[in-house]
Amino acid sequence: MTGSATLLERGSLKWLVDCGMFQGGKELEERNWHLQPYQAKNLSFILLTHAHIDHSGLIPKLVQEGFRGKVICTKATRDLCEVMLEDSGHIQEMEAEWQNRKGKRAGKKEAIPLYTMKDAEKSLQYFQTVNYGEQFQLANGIEVRFQDAGHILGSAIIEIWIEEGGEEKKLIFSGDLGNSGQPIIRDPSWVEEGNVLWLESTYGNRFHKSREETVQELLKIVQEAIAHEAKVIIPAFAVERTQEIIYTLGQFIRERSIPSIPIYIDSPLAISATEIFKRNPDCFDQETQALLSGGENPLEIPEIKYTQTAEESKAINEDSRPGIIVSASGMCDSGRIQHHLKHHLWRNESHIVIIGYQAEGTTGRRIVDGAKTVRLFGEEIAVNAHIHTLGGFSAHADQKGLLAWLSHFSNPPLEVFINHGEEKISTELSQLIRERFHFKTVVPQWREKKVLFGEGAKELPEERAVEEFIPEESFSSLFNHLDRTYKRLRRKLKREKKRGDDLYDPKWLKQLEEINKKLEELDSEL
């Protein structure tokens, strides 16, 4: 999950599909610093499925390390990357600054940002845009086409045709796949044939409620909040979810299901993203096009208050009227949403509506998982508000959606790499695809290599490649775990000793002896 990137090699040509940043915890984010295997200087292209940071976030880092090739994507993706990468650079700078404030006092060496806003800005000169549906030549014997993925504005499925030993092979990258029937943008395109597919699996084991049901649920929440003069807080990704929420709330007001109440869009990034939506009407679906040509812009309603500055953002909390606050980040880990959560999580009458994916290790995930308190700005905040999770607004297809999309393939020997999901989920989906479609499926590990076509493919059977691959971090995370368990044991022992309790049960002694023996064996073997 997160950090999507696939390196493709053919002869001396190397290119990436996506170049995402890892998000969700220190250990995972450490990976963002180790890009050596990509060899930035030797890469010719990055084919970019869409602008989300978990797909595009390391492009500036790659440019910083010497990438001088082309980043190829749709126009809307480029426009969105302009604001999103700069925002990401800004976050990196802030984080380093914060660490330095803490670190200096602790005598630590200076932290540097992963990349800066300037790096992000510089990386934009390497972007080159293509139109949906247009097949173009990437290099000799390699053709590429971008198709609608229905996930966010500008998002694409990427098809790659490669001539290999006189034969044509086709690779497909699903990117992140959206749902059919979501507002504003077009539905995902179907792909009917190919040899190898990389399929996302974010919600590979989940079933979303239908959009209509979800819209009704949101309506009820908003109505209840209005009845109790309370606020609804919606953490939302700045791109797509925010615009979809604007669209839906606008619909409530247009249909007079709710009175006119203030709707705060408190995220400078969401404001810029909304502007970009307005600039790219060619990506809209028929319904939105029709509204537009009828003179109505569903992204412009009088109730919406865009708050750009920090002062305006703070002033929201002085408005005691019932209202709705949509703010980023979508996973509650950074940004202005944290201030709003601090103000509202502890209030019984407030409503928090979670509409997007919450990665493991994030504040949003803890709230969804039912934490009694969460830590914000160094303070424990009680979770008393009503917490709602509305899956139907997801930008990702659920299991049913993914299988429905796959069912359009008519080419039986398809080989499917299942990526971009938590391992358990990817594995479950993999099993299901094998049973349902009899496709060959693989859940690749981070940095696993595979020879797809040609001589090497025969020499390196898939089983062997999978077995032999043990990521370095498996070891380090095990060691860390061992370390933590040991420390916890010591702490317990100390505590019990203080209390005067008798811990020295013969049962424990026997277990400890066994563990000790095992560790000694391991030590001498290593």
Of the candidates 52, 231, 339, 340, which one interacts with Zn ion according to CB under 5 A?
52
C-alpha span between 426 and 442 (Å, rounded) = 9
- What are the structure tokens assigned to 160, written together? 């790659």
Tell me the per-residue interface mask from 285 to 324 with Zn ion, x by CB under 5 A, - otherwise.
----------------------------------------
- Identity of the residue numbered 207: F
75-105 vs 268-279: helix axis angle to the nearest 10? Answer: 170
**Piece of 49-57, 138-146, 179-187, 381-389 that binds Zn ion (CB under 5 A):** 49-57
- Asked whether the beta carbons of 207 and 311 are under 8 A apart, the reply is no
13-17: strand order across its sheet: 6-10, 13-17, 45-47, 70-74, 127-130
Least separation, in Å, of the C-beta of 152 and Zn ion?
6
Residue placing its CB nearer to Zn ion in the complex, 149 or 196 = 149
Q: Which is nearer to Zn ion, 20 or 250 (CB)?
A: 20
The nearest distance, CB 469 to Zn ion, in angstroms, is 23
Least distance to Zn ion from the beta carbon of 11, Å? Answer: 30
Dist. CA 208–CA 399, nearest whole Å: 9
φ, ψ of residue 403 to 5 degrees: the values are: -65, -35
Cβ nearer to Zn ion, comparing 177 with 263:
177
- For Zn ion, the binding residue among 54, 86, 244, 398 (CB under 5 A) is 54
Please say which residue, 84 or 171, places its beta carbon nearer to Zn ion.
84
Measured from the CB atom, is 214 or 394 closer to Zn ion? 394
- By C-alpha distance, which of 325, 420, 393 is closest to 54? 420
| 18 in contact with Zn ion (CB under 5 A) | no
Work out how close the CB of 511 gets to Zn ion at its nearest, in angstroms, rounded to a whole number. Answer: 44
Is 241 one of the binding residues for Zn ion (CB under 5 A)?
no
Spell out the residues 6+ positions from residue 190 whose beta carbon is closer than 8 angstroms to its own.
405, 408
Q: Considering beta carbons, is residue 176 or 398 the nearer one to Zn ion? A: 176
Nearer to Zn ion, 232 or 245 (CB): 245
The token pair at 451 is: 């020879």
- Does position 159 interact with Zn ion (CB under 5 A)? The reply is no
Q: How far is the CB of 174 from Zn ion (least distance, A)?
A: 11
Judged by CB under 5 A, the stretch of 37-45, 48-56, 88-96, 127-135 that binds Zn ion is 48-56
- Region near Zn ion per CB under 5 A, out of 54-62, 134-142, 188-196, 324-332: 54-62
Q: Which 3 state secondary structure label does DSSP give 198? A: strand
β-pair type (440-442, 231-235): unpaired
Segment 163 to 182, residues that bind Zn ion, using CB under 5 A: 176
Which lies closer to Zn ion via its Cβ, residue 54 or residue 428?
A: 54
> Would you list the DSSP string of 437-472?
H--EEE-PPTT-----SSHHHHHS-HHHHHHH---H
Contacts of 260 (CB under 8 A, 6+ apart): 253, 302, 303
Position 492, amino acid: K
In angstroms, give the least distance from the CB of 506 to Zn ion.
53
For Zn ion, which is the closer residue by CB, 119 or 176? 176
> First and final CA of the chain: distance in angstroms?
32
- Find the helix or strand (DSSP H, E) in which 26 lies: helix 26-29
CB of 369 to Zn ion, least distance (A): 21
Number of chain residues interacting with Zn ion (CB under 5 A): 3
Smallest gap from Cβ 284 to Zn ion, in A, equals 19
- In the complex, minimum distance from the CB of residue 54 to Zn ion, in angstroms, rounded to a whole number: 5
- What residues line the site for Zn ion (CB under 5 A)? 52, 54, 176
